[in-house]
A and B are shown apart, each in its own frame.
Chain A
């Protein structure tokens, strides 16, 4: 398996532009997570899906952020409009199930976003 695949790896955009980050989880993994990593706040869980359904989006910072999972093999995280404080590395991760102990996430390589 190719692992969790994220695109783009790097994105530089200007304030106010729309940003779309993409993720392909590992086949057969029922859970998908979006995390954000910054120096100031560390690793933050934004949202997670189970069987394509959003379960907990309490970590989504504000209405400018939205996430979708139209099918088991694809998810997007969209920021519209983007702001400089959104600059971060965004990680997608997936796992097969969430039984404690088997809750082992596989992370993608991340998408580094810079908003000027």
Chain B
């Protein structure tokens, strides 16, 4: 079945540092890929998405490129802020699996001033 694997956290870094969160996936079809973010005490919200190979999703300084050859969708940000402290979830939606949304386990990121 479909699955999403992302690096375990917590990831702790200083303000203005470079952030990478690795995400790889397994899917039977050609999925769409998503990154959701969960701020403390809140629900998940969409950060960015990509619907086909080589697409790049971007939002709020975050970027992720859909890499079909490596089945990856790594999240990056060049200069993080304290306000980026949150839990980040990689997810896929596979049409071959009825478009069910499958989430990774989440990666907690803590940015220190």
State yes or no: do A and B come from one complex. Answer: yes
Interface residues of A (CB under 8 A from B): 4, 33, 42-43, 45, 56, 91, 93, 98-101, 103-110
B93, B98, B103: the one contacting A42 at CB < 8 Å is: B103
Which B residues from 88 to 113 make CB contacts under 8 A with A? 89, 93-95, 98-101, 103-106
How many pairs of residues, A versus B, come closer than 8 Å at their CB atoms?
Answer: 55
CB pair A101 B32 closer than 8 Å = yes
CB pair A101 B94 closer than 8 Å = no
* Residue B77 interfacial (CB < 8 Å): no
Contact indicator per residue, chain B 21-46, by CB within 8 Å of chain A (1) or not (0)? 00000000001101010000111111
Which B residues from 55 to 101 make CB contacts under 8 A with A? 89, 93-95, 98-101
Interface residues of B (CB under 8 A from A): 31-32, 34, 36, 41-46, 49, 51, 89, 93-95, 98-101, 103-106
**Which residues of chain A are within 8 angstroms of B105 by Cβ–Cβ distance?**
42
Q: A33-B101, A100-B94, A109-B41 are in contact. List 4 more A-B contacts (CB 8 A).
A: A98-B93, A101-B51, A107-B45, A110-B42
**Which residues of chain A are within 8 angstroms of B32 by Cβ–Cβ distance?**
100-101, 103
CB pair A91 B34 closer than 8 Å = no
